[in-house]
Amino acid sequence: MKALAVLRVERTASGRSAVRELRSQAPMTLVHRRAAVAGDGAAVVHLVSSAAAPLGGDDVRLRVHVGPGARLRLRGTAATVALPGMRAGHSRTRVQVELAEGAELDYRPEATVVTSRADHRAELHAELAEDARLDLRELLVLGRTGEPPGRLRTATHVVRGGVPVLRQDLDLHPGRLLDSAGYLAGSRVLGTEVMVRAEAPAEPVSGDWWSLVPLPAGGALATALAADAITAEHRLGTARGHHPSPETAA
């Protein structure tokens, strides 16, 4: 299965953010909550899974453009469960983000669960104007309860004003996780949050299984490890609380 979803948000003359283009294909459906405009005028859109996916061989893409001065809150409604397919080959999700001058995106998909025998690749590429703002939260769950995980490869690349802010690649599979405690220290949930804002922490800070580090080109990266998603979310919140501007949209 191949699918493409497109979302474009622009700022109106009244200062609100409006969805100007919204196209979806199963299994990724975009739902605009027209009656729910945030207090800051941000548009609110939900990602809804409309089919069992991704399966092996699937290629699902999402393109998001936020125009000058516009704001978008993009939310997941259910976990993405990567499953082995009837055909050989990996599944892939690709998200491409473009943020214009003064644009803001708060993107919180639900957790990605990589089941036994699945082979999944998840890519996110974000291009930001110099004064754009991005909050990206991600939870990766390695296997359902009581089962070993499949293979997961992720790539997160963020560029602001033409300067790379973050290039992070992750490759996890059962052998690697079992052979070395250096990979997630036995945890099955990895949470990360990329915060690209005007402010950034001056120094790294860390606690029990969480950390917040400034990125060399601006912004910060929060990381948390846990045995379950709820604890990982809580630890990410603790890390985010040490940011100079800890607020995120609800």
Q: What is the pLDDT of residue 114?
A: 92
Statement: residue 180 has pLDDT above 90: no
State how far the Cα of 151 lies from the Cα of 143, in Å rounded to an integer: 10
Asked if 43 and 73 touch (Cβ cutoff 8 Å), the reply is yes
Residue 250's pLDDT is what?
Answer: 45
**pLDDT value at residue 179:** 57
Q: What percent of the chain has pLDDT over 90?
A: 62
Query: What pLDDT, in 10s, does the model give residues 198-245?
Result: 888 889 999 999 999 999 888 999 999 999 999 999 999 999 999 988
pLDDT of 51 over the 70 cut:
no
Q: Report the mean per-residue pLDDT for the chain.
A: 89
The answer to whether the beta carbons of residues 112 and 120 sit under 8 Å apart is yes
Domain ranges of the chain: 2-240
Band of pLDDT at residue 173, cut at 50, 70 and 90: confident
Percent of the chain predicted with pLDDT > 70: 91
pLDDT at 38 (0 to 100):
61
Model pTM score: 0.91
- pLDDT score at 22: 96
- β-pairing verdict for 133-142 and 104-108: parallel
Mean pLDDT calculated for residue range 165-190: 79
Write the CB contacts of 62 (distance below 8 Å, at least 6 apart in sequence): 4, 5, 6, 7, 28, 47, 93, 94, 95, 96
Predicted confidence (pLDDT) per residue in 98-133, tens digit? 999 999 999 999 999 999 889 999 999 999 999 999
What's the pLDDT score for residue 40? 78
Cβ count near 211 (within 10 Å) = 16
Mean pLDDT of 46-65: 85
Q: CA 174 to CA 89: how far, in whole Å?
A: 18
| Confidence (pLDDT) at 45 | 95
Nearby residues of 159 by Cβ (< 8 Å), 6 or more positions away: 126, 127, 128, 165
Average pLDDT over residues 9-15: 94
Residue whose token pair is 């300067």: 163
